[in-house]
Amino acid sequence: MKKALVVLLALLCLGAAAFADGATMAWSVNAWSGFGFATTPAGTNFEQYNYNWVGQDTVRFGMKYTAADGNAGFNSRLQMSPLSGTNAATFNQLNAWAKFFGGMVTIRGGILDDYTIATKDWYSYGNTDGALGLYVNLNLMPGLDIGVFQPAPAGTASQGTDQLFGPAGGKYNIAGAAFTMPDLVGVQVGVAGDKSVYFGAKVLAIQGVTAILEGKYISASATNVQLLENVGYAMGPLTVGARIGENISGSDLYWGVEPTASYAVMDNVKINVIANVYNNASQAWMSPVDAGVGFVGGNAPDLNYGGGAFITLTQSGATFTIGDYAHMWGGNIFFVNLDLSL
């Protein structure tokens, strides 16, 4: 199976060249890194830190090629975590893709990065990011995508994990669909080989309003249901909102609420504030800081809360973030992120 995927990746690369019709390949690069000074009861640590993605402590470099006609391409992302002791650079994305039959069929092979049939918010249930295998997407009509993911056998890859695929090296197959009615609603549904089903919906009909629902039911797990609601409203330069999450595990209900607000001082400068309250460490995603530096232990149920503020500056493809967050237990982190796209 692994050899077959290598062959398929090579064929897709050839397909990319064939579909380019002699046109010059467009390319783009992206680099990201961040760090923070985290103070906890155990002391102060200097570590890599990404506030927006739940404390991932990685340095990333990505490169993409896309044919001028948009019918083929190649994507890669190299990352490492030197401050966590993982000094080896590994690819958590490395794939090629090509479209056939006027764009009705898209085939992507390798270490994937596809979110076509995934839910559209924090959890992104149904994505194939970091999974080694083959993804086939059918676009049967405008707005309708049907996708099938077949992973490589368990143990052939350890790149990437998420809440749908399960532990590293144990990816599950997925079948799902996404349908969008422009200016009205977008919905996503799917099933996975770990005996789970997922669904999502996003309201598109009201300008300035954010209304997103994500959920997953797992029949073979102690955590039976996960839900996430994201609501918000933009009023000129001011945007306010909140994420509300629930985990139902057997007879236990764990929850979290994360209100946020941002104000655009200028077109490229935003001031952001965030707070969170949650009753169990299983909802620590409500605070990326907590998940990243481990302010909260696994004892349940405990009421946890915290808050912080950060400033984002966007200029010529670069986004610079600087901020600070404090937790009720006395933990604190001062963090800086840089995301560069060319």
- 37's CB contacts (< 8 A; 6+ apart) are 44, 45, 46, 333, 334, 335
pLDDT of residue 339: 85
- Residue 145 falls within a domain, yes or no? yes
What pLDDT digit, counting tens, does each position of 59-73 carry? 889 999 999 888 999
User: Taking 50 as the threshold, does the pLDDT of residue 53 lie above it?
Assistant: no
Is 278 buried (19+), middle (13-18) or exposed (0-12) by CB count in 10 A?
Answer: buried
- DSSP for 259-313, please give it: EEEEEEEETTEEEEEEEEEESSGGGGGG-HHHHHH--S-S-SS--EEEEEEEEEE
- Residue 274 falls within a domain, yes or no? no
Q: Half-sphere exposure of residue 326, counting CA atoms within 13 Å on the CB side?
A: 2
Mean pLDDT of 18-25: 47
What average pLDDT does the structure give for the chain? 79
With beta carbons less than 8 A apart as the criterion, state whether 289 and 295 touch: yes
Across the chain, the runs of DSSP E, i.e. the strands, are 26-40, 43-48, 59-66, 72-81, 86-100, 105-111, 132-141, 144-151, 174-181, 185-192, 196-203, 209-218, 223-235, 238-249, 252-266, 269-278, 304-315, 318-327, 332-341
- Residues 167 and 158: their CA atoms lie apart, in Å, by 9
- Residue 88 falls within a domain, yes or no? yes
What pLDDT digit, counting tens, does each position of 293-318 carry? 445 444 444 677 788 899 999 998 89
- Residue 252 falls within a domain, yes or no? no
pLDDT of residue 194: 76
Residue written as tokens 């169990």?
280
- Residues 259 and 271: their CA atoms lie apart, in Å, by 14
Q: Which two tokens stand for residue 67?
A: 């044919």
With beta carbons less than 8 A apart as the criterion, state whether 40 and 293 touch: yes
Nearest to 52 by CA among 287, 317, 332, 300: 287
Domain count across the chain: 1
Higher pLDDT, residue 202 or 291: 202
User: Of 67-76, 89-98, 115-124, 249-258, which range is least confident?
Assistant: 249-258
- Residue 225 falls within a domain, yes or no? no
- Residue 216 falls within a domain, yes or no? no
Nearest to 293 by CA among 336, 257, 326, 247: 326
Owning domain of residue 132: 1-25+67-200
pLDDT of residue 231: 97
What pLDDT digit, counting tens, does each position of 258-283 carry? 899 999 999 999 999 988 888 766 66
Nearest to 326 by CA among 301, 295, 286: 295
- Residue 137 falls within a domain, yes or no? yes
Q: How many residues does the chain have?
A: 342
- Residue 324 falls within a domain, yes or no? no
